[in-house]
Amino acid sequence: MSDNAAFDVQLRSVMTNLADKFPLGAIPLGDTLASVTAAAVELIRGVDHADVLLIDGDRFDSLASTAPVAEELDAVQLRFQQGPCLQAAVADSVIRSPDLRTEPRWPEFAVAAVSLGIFSVLSFQLYTHSGGAGALNLLGRTPGAFTREAEALGAMLATHAALALAAVNTRQQFDSALATRDHIGQAKGILMERLDIDAVHAFDMLKMLSQQTNIPIRDLAKRIIETRRPSAEQTI
């Protein structure tokens, strides 16, 4: 079997494993991301280490790192507010740096990376929205470590990681919507009982109060529910 044919078999095997063993949303996000970074090191020639960097406001989280050096370099980027992973997360879809010894874009990061034995970096944007962003980061211990083939494979793995993050975000939004609906339902029930009105009038009252006070309906609902709960003095 030729090298190319063997690599194709390996590629299909790893991608099938990602799809079958780690179905999106079926296991914790951290496990899914760990499967992606492990596959990057296993599959992509030139990748020695990998991790996922998530940014939420001023908070940086290094997830699923395959070696401590990946987390160290994320910390460097947080400290200096510069670096390929950070730039990919917040600005560009793909960032390449074949030789950090001659990299002018992030001088402090480049010096730190080379001192830790990292000479090549390839970063893929996973998502970006108001206040949040993320990137898959691939690190090589040799200059010029990543070929076009490596970039294509990295993009495939980044897509899997991005889908996992999107699935978690969708689930969180769904859970939040369910909680809000439940709170509004409870608040309507309280108003119906106290004021002897039907559900339509109770909801209309919530909307009117929301407009008058400029408080979202979900927050008004929580306040009404709180008034229903006995205080510590009442329960004594």
Q: Are residues 22 and 105 in the same domain?
A: yes
Do 196 and 160 lie in one domain? The reply is no
Output 101 or 150, whichever has higher pLDDT. Answer: 101
Regarding whether 39 and 120 lie in a shared domain, the answer is yes
- Identify the CATH number of the domain in which residue 152 sits: 3.30.450.80
> Do 228 and 184 belong together in one domain?
yes
Q: Which domain-ending residue is among 153, 172, 191?
A: 172
154 and 221 share one domain:
no
Could you list the residue range(s) of the whole structural domain that residue 12 is in?
3-172
The whole-number pLDDT of residue 139 equals: 97
pLDDT at 235 over 50: no
Cα distance between residue 186 and residue 228, in whole Å:
10
Q: Are residues 123 and 47 in the same domain?
A: yes
Q: How many domains does the chain have?
A: 2
Residue 214 region by backbone torsions, left for phi larger than 0, else alpha for psi between -120 and 50, else beta:
left
Among 20-24, 131-135, 189-193, 202-206, the minimum mean pLDDT is found in 20-24
Residues 179 and 113 in one domain: no
- Give yes or no for a contact between 172 and 144, defined as CB atoms under 8 angstroms apart: no
Amino acid 131: pLDDT: 61
Band of the pLDDT at 231, cuts 50, 70, 90? very low
| pLDDT digits 0-9 by tens, 92-136 | 889 999 999 999 999 999 999 999 999 999 999 988 776 678 899
Indicate if 194 and 113 belong to the same structural domain.
no
161/211 same-domain check = no
Instruction: Examine the domain organization and report whether 129 and 119 are in the same domain.
Output: yes
- pLDDT band (50, 70, 90) for residue 13: low
